[in-house]
Structure 1
Amino acid sequence: MRFIILVFTFIVFQTVQTQIARAETSDKKNQLEELFIWKLSDELKLSPVEEKKFTDIVKDLNRKKADLNNELQEITEKMSKAANTKKREEQLVAYRKTLQSYNHISEEEFDKLKPLLGADRFVQYLQIKQDLTKRIKSMLANPEAPKTDKKNLPAPKVIEEK
């Protein structure tokens, strides 16, 4: 009887831990998304109306990416558990279709943001996004690395008062 209670307690504890971890991950993801939107809105000098549209587009695209990424993970799991080759082939077809939908989001991003931002600011958006993505990936890949920026700071200007 004690063993059953112990096992049940362990299962409940694991379930609660998993839910807490998911909530923390979701919170961090939302904070990162908000920071990303704020940084780009600031850098691109968006008007309040543009910022609202920009925020809606970015959040919608991120939600679609997350949903499709979850779907890809589920299909991969189903493939690994598939009992026969026919089932795996069906899952591979579903995986390819979902992967195409996931890749289509980049085109959707282009089609929605370019008209909103115009050519010049859209190019600036792409550059900033690429730079932020590189920085985040390098931080995740090597969190202990010193934070140095390849861009050299300009020499200080000396102003003499007479």
Structure 2
Amino acid sequence: MKTLRSHKSFIMRYFPNYKPSHVASRYLNADVHPLQPKITHMYATRDKSTLWWMVNPSHLMSVRMKRVVRSWCSRRARMAFRLALKDHGFDADGRKAGQELLGDSNGKGGDGKNLKGRVDLLLHADILREPFEVLRKEMDAGVSALINHLKTTKDAAPKPAKKQKKAVDARDDKGNETSL
């Protein structure tokens, strides 16, 4: 987990692996729950070549905000995040915009610059008083940090070593070289 952007109204966390969110884990770890088969199927068939992201308003519950206020704040954060992705040339799933027009709906082709992994946006109570333009600028900076982080981890990843051909030592019993 890497905290990409921390602002007074939200925290953006990035996870490079595709593991279920804390909400889904609650249902997946339950012995008997009616939603368990559905969520198991959803995560088993979910596309792992896209960006998984979610807005988490649980910190808003601690300050006793009503449900309608929490959903309004979550909707503002989702809208700002989608607009920030769009400003950087991505769709809502983190694919480069226009790939579906090129016939590449799975996101595996092209230049390979799709966003992958999982992003959690943890909302704080200050998002309620934050003007939307400021929130949008902060989300834009968060998406920039995400893109830069993915570029640096991609560049810093060790490249696989080239396989060298082993020299075949063909010798007979007396130690003389033989031809193959």
Same fold (TM over 0.5): no
- Greater RCO, CA 8 A, separation 6+: 2
Structure with greater strand share of residues: 2
Structure with greater helix share of residues: 1
TM-score (norm 2): 0.29
